[in-house]
Amino acid sequence: MTTSRFIGSCVTAVSLCLVLPGVATADPAAGVGLKDSPGIRMLEEIQTVITELAEQAKPSVVNLFPLQGIGRSRELGSERIPPNTPGSGSGLIVDSEGHIVTNNHVIGDAAEVEVRLSDKTKLIAHVIGKDPDTDLALLKVTADRPLPSARFGDSSTVKVGQWVLAVGNPFGLDRTVTLGVVSGIGRENINLSRYENFIQTDASINPGNSGGPLFNLRGEVIGINTAIINFAQGIGFAIPSNMAKQVIDQLIAKGKVVRGWLGVGIQPLTPELAKKFGVNEGEGVLVNEVFDKDPAAAAGIKPGDIIIRIDGAVVDSPNKLSRLIGALPPGATSKIEVVRDLQHVVLDVPLSERRDAAVVASIPQAKTEMKLGLDVQDLTAGLADKFKLREPKGVLITKVEPSSLAHAEGLREGDLIKEVNRAEVSSVGEFTSALSRVRRGDTVLLRVLRENRAFYVVLKSTE
């Protein structure tokens, strides 16, 4: 019987062993154990699959001890698995030449790391390269023999509910194996790294597991364990193997990761914004700024466009857009589909190299309906300098009334209004004229610059 047939029959087998006649009818006086039965035999065969997988997986997992500077991070209710004593974290040998992948936060700023193999051999690894954007790092050891390495699987085929094995060194307990299931895929907004697409698992992950592998039942690596929720039980996250392999390949070849760059500021579509732009909530992301001389500007993407697909892949969040673009190499031409004035437009965009100072604009979302509550004036050179604006003209917000809708939406003194309901405004007169066309109860769509970063916001008039 194949492994997949064993595992697919697991629940049935567990049920059978509980009800099969004779399973637990041993004679206590005779000291005889459970009688042989189809249910027991099936469970034993499944158990054998798991134990063989564990034995096969463990040799490629190593214990890591950074020799200096160990990094840690804690944000918004989530916690990177912190260093522990005596070991700091785990790693995975990815080829026989001695390349080892782990988490960037495990090695911190260390240039060298002590590596302990499954046979207790100790080696010194050098850091080949790091990618903080995915929280991955690559090390290299030199050994006098080929090292046991793991085989990567295709993380795009991972399904919720499938069984997985996590292997690592929690609390210094070498090569601990835990069994569980995939409890979620495509997890983002965990605020652990720039590019997030985590596999969630309930296989026990503890301090020291960071950087260790998550295996499927075929012994293939489908993820690199990276984080736990510090206030929950049975919730851990792994970086998908496809993302990890892409990073590993670039670190081996170049010592760094190079990503594509589009050159836009983006924000999610709130229900109010979606309605204003004539699309469904969650249908794409809103372009609020297009940077001069960057690929998007050259290709004709404009503020107010809704990006809905990149090379046929659906875009439903800013994180997804950043991840899709970041996975493409500089120089690649991407087909980007946008909704502009209710029309679908497909643009060919040759990407450039991503800049480290990329900024994504965002703004707090409002929950209440109140008057606008804004005082404005024409922009002057002195005011532009005061509020760090490079724009020569626009309508400057000089006061925001407390408890007003503008205040609730996050607008503040020094914000520069550039558009009202998609029409450019460069003076208070134009701003007032645009507002005069707004009827009671209508929404007002503003495009606003704050220190040269743009965002859209929807206000609802009650005047």
**Residue 99 known to bind ligand:** no
For 434, list phi and psi in degrees, rounded to 5.
-65, -40
Catalytic residue among 78, 155, 204, 210: 210
The beta strand positions in 141-243, using DSSP E, are: 151-152, 163-168, 176-187, 198-201, 213-215, 220-229, 236-240
Host H or E run for residue 126: strand 122-131
Are 202 and 160 in contact, with CB atoms under 8 Å apart? no
209 annotated as ligand-binding: yes
* 105 known member of a binding site: yes
Is 119 annotated as belonging to a binding site?
no
Clarify whether 210 is annotated catalytic. yes
Spatial separation of the C-alpha atoms in residues 134 and 100, rounded to whole Å: 16
Assess contact for 275 and 241: CB atoms under 8 A: no
Question: Which is the catalytic residue, given 105, 241, 322, 334?
Answer: 105
Closest CA to 227 of 235, 215, 219: 235
| Amino acid identity for residue 269 in this structure | L
Q: Which of these is catalytic: 135, 202, 305, 415?
A: 135
15 labelled catalytic: no
- Say if residue 37 carries a ligand binding annotation: no
Active site residue 99: no
Element (H, E) at 266: strand 264-267
Alpha helices by DSSP H, listed for 255-372, are 271-277, 295-299, 318-326
Determine the Cα–Cα distance for residues 138 and 281; give it in Å rounded to an integer. Answer: 40
Say if strands 313-314 and 333-340 run parallel, antiparallel, or are unpaired. Answer: unpaired
CA pair distance 152, 245, nearest whole angstrom: 8
- 3-state DSSP of 321-350: HHHHHHCCCCCCEEEEEEEECCEEEEEEEE
Radius of gyration in angstroms for the set of CA atoms belonging to the chain, rounded to a whole number: 28
**67 exposure class (CB count in 10 Å sphere: 0-12, 13-18, 19+):** middle
In contact, 187 and 196? CB cutoff 8 Å? yes
CA distances from 242 to 88, 168, 207, 309 (A): 25, 20, 24, 21
Q: Which residues contact 422 (CB under 8 A, 6 or more apart)?
A: 304, 445
Contact 434, 445 (CB under 8 A): no
Could you say which DSSP state residue 391 is in? Answer: -
- Look at residue 29 and give its three-state secondary structure: helix
- DSSP H or E segment with residue 138: strand 136-140
Single-letter amino acid, residue 340 = R
The binding site consists of: 105, 135, 208-210
The binding site for substrate consists of: 105, 135, 208-210
Active-site positions read 105, 135, 210
